[in-house]
């Protein structure tokens, strides 16, 4: 069945397991970011004659390869050639209906990833009465390099353009533009929180889901301004639009990964503040006027229903599969912690006191998980709680048997449960072949309920700090992050 909008007509395909469901893939929401548009704000998509085939995924955006071969094998990013990676995919239960809309923003450290990752298939959402949309956006240098002569935060502007496209066109695909939920994991969740503070995004979404991200991962302008000169020096060009435009894409990507390593390794005191991500949104005074956590505390995003949570063992992803568990010594643990705080030995001792007998690797997972994901999420929940704003919270706690149980409820593990795509091979080596479908049924239903009604099925966070712990036998617990809050109170995040 075809759908026609001002941009042109698109032919989709049936969704298996549904009677009226249709999927439309690879629809451009902006013009191709090539030539003069490579470093520019996104422009409206070009119109086309005839009926465009929307039965297959479109191109992915140009990105550096994942920097970890292990993770690239476990949770691979798709790569599809083509000029216009600024496209989106739709799964609709019925194009004649007016269903709530779920827009997924992928993670990948603002440097890798794609909306067409197989685990993000939205068929189950369509099956359950929700229009699902997944998007691509510009990444790494093209998306987030703060560059003189180019608009800042181009990746964020791509997200805004995609949401504007949804507002203007989703009704033709069976979606209700007045019931839009944005959601994301990792960098996607950071983007969701940041969009709450982006004036141009105001009114484009009505609910938001934050998985393993927070409102803390942005660069102040003075830090962001260090990146372009360093990347230009690596390439031997001027730090200008013209200079970077003259570099072949593959060469830019190779230099980008080199510079990411240099900025985040902790070896060069010039880059001491780059503790994890080299590319991320920038507080530029324009697209992002102020720090998201401050904007939210001042009322940004008021009226947006929120569902916020983390995984119990986020950093297990970077320890269990990589072999770090066997290599991490006590001395290495203290040195890696030194990059986060001024009193690393004291902080390690605090974690050890609560985990007697834990190995250095286990303490590393607990400490780094709290610093990167859990404590920032707790501070965001605290800001919302202090303002009396309604919010629901969760903790994904299922521990798979893989890697001798060392993986824990790690980063990215919850995604196929949310999408009800456990049968997909993406991430299967992490979760194992017998991941509990009952937990996927529960989580997917909760996300659908939140998208539809703003209530996932458990009490709000509120004064009692209630959190739904999602496991084979899920329970609602009170203030599970009290110890994390106590340890990180007053410490930088």
DSSP codes, 166-230: HHHHGGGGTEEEEEEEEEEETHHHHHHHHHTT-GGGTTS-SEEEEES--S---EEHHHHTTHHHH
φ, ψ of residue 242 in degrees (nearest 5): -65, -40
Q: What's the rounded Cα separation, in Å, for the pair 345 and 327? A: 19
State the Cα–Cα distance between residues 164 and 182, nearest whole angstrom. 12
Q: How many other CB atoms are found less than 10 A from the CB of residue 432?
A: 12
Instruction: Give every CB contact of residue 40 below 8 A, 6+ residues apart in sequence.
Output: 33, 150, 151, 154
Tell me how far apart the alpha carbons of residues 151 and 304 are, in angstroms, rounded to a whole number.
27
Cα separation, 123 vs 134, in Å, equals 12
Measured between its terminal Cα atoms, the distance across the chain in Å is: 50
The residue annotated as part of the active site, out of 411, 414, 442, 444, is 411
- Over its C-alpha atoms, the chain yields an Rg (Å, rounded) of 22
Is 186 a catalytic site residue?
yes
- Element (DSSP H or E) covering residue 351: helix 344-354
CA 162 to chain centre: 15
Task: Give yes or no: 98 in active site.
Answer: no
Whole-angstrom distance, CA of residue 197 vs CA of residue 210:
14
Nearest to 61 by CA among 144, 2, 131, 132: 144
Which residues are within 8 A (CB) of 412 and not within 5 positions of it... i.e. 6 or more apart? 75, 107, 185, 186, 212, 317, 427, 430
Q: What SS3 state is found at 394? A: strand
**Candidates 142, 314, 362, 442; catalytic one:** 314
Q: What is the DSSP letter of 441?
A: H
Catalytic status, residue 290 = no
Q: Could you tell me where the beta strands, DSSP code E, fall in 212-345?
A: 219-220, 282-283, 305-311
- In the set 31, 186, 393, 474, the catalytic residue is 186
Map tokens 């409820």 to a residue: 409
Angle at 304 between CA 126 and CA 166, to 5 degrees: 45
Distance CA 336, CA 341 (A): 10
The residues annotated with a catalytic role in the active site are 186, 314, 411
């Amino acid at each position: 069945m075809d759908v026609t909008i001002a941009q042109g007509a698109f032919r989709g395909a049936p969704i298996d397991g549904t009677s009226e469901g249709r999927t439309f893939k690879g629809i451009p929401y902006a013009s191709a970011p090539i030539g003069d548009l490579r470093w520019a704000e996104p422009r409206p998509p070009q119109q086309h004659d005839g009926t465009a085939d929307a039965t297959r995924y479109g191109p992915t955006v140009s990105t550096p390869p994942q920097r970890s071969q292990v993770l690239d094998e476990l949770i691979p990013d798709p790569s599809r050639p083509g000029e216009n990676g600024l496209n989106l995919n739709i799964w609709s239960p019925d194009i004649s209906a007016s269903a709530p809309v779920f827009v997924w923003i992928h993670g990948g450290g603002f440097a890798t990833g794609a909306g067409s990752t197989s685990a993000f298939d939205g068929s189950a959402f369509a099956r359950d009465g929700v229009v699902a949309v997944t998007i691509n956006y510009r990444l790494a240098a093209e998306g987030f390099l703060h560059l003189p002569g180019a608009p800042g935060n181009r990746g964020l502007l791509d997200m805004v353009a995609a949401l504007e496209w949804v507002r203007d066109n989703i009704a033709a695909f069976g979606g209700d533009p007045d019931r839009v939920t944005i959601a994301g994991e990792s960098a996607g969740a950071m983007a969701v929180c940041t969009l709450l503070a982006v004036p141009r995004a105001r009114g484009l979404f009505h609910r938001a889901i934050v998985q393993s991200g927070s409102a803390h991962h942005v660069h102040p302008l003075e830090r962001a301004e260090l990146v372009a000169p360093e990347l230009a020096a690596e390439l031997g060009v001027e730090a200008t639009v013209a200079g970077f435009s003259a570099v072949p894409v593959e060469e830019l990507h190779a230099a980008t990964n080199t510079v990411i390593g240099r900025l985040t390794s902790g070896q060069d005191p010039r880059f001491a503040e780059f503790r994890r991500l080299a590319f991320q949104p920038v507080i530029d005074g324009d697209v992002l006027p102020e720090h998201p956590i401050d904007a939210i505390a001042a009322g940004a995003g008021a009226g947006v229903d929120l569902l916020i949570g983390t995984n119990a063992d986020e950093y297990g992803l970077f320890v269990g599969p990589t072999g770090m568990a066997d290599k991490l010594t006590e001395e290495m643990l203290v040195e890696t912690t030194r990059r986060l705080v001024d009193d690393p030995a004291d902080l390690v001792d605090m974690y050890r006191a609560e985990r007697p007998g834990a190995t250095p690797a286990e303490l590393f997972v607990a400490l780094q998980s709290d610093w990167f994901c859990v404590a920032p999420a707790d501070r965001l929940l605290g800001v919302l709680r202090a303002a009396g704003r309604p919010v629901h919270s969760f903790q994904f706690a299922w521990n798979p048997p893989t890697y001798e149980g060392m993986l824990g409820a790690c980063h990215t593990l919850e995604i196929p449960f949310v999408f009800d795509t456990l049968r997909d091979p993406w991430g299967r080596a992490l979760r194992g072949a017998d991941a509990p479908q009952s937990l996927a049924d529960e989580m997917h239903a909760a996300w659908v309920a939140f998208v539809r009604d703003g209530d996932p099925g458990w009490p709000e966070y509120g004064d009692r700090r209630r959190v739904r712990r999602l496991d084979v036998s899920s329970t609602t617990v009170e203030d599970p992050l009290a110890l994390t809050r106590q340890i990180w109170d007053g410490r930088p995040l």
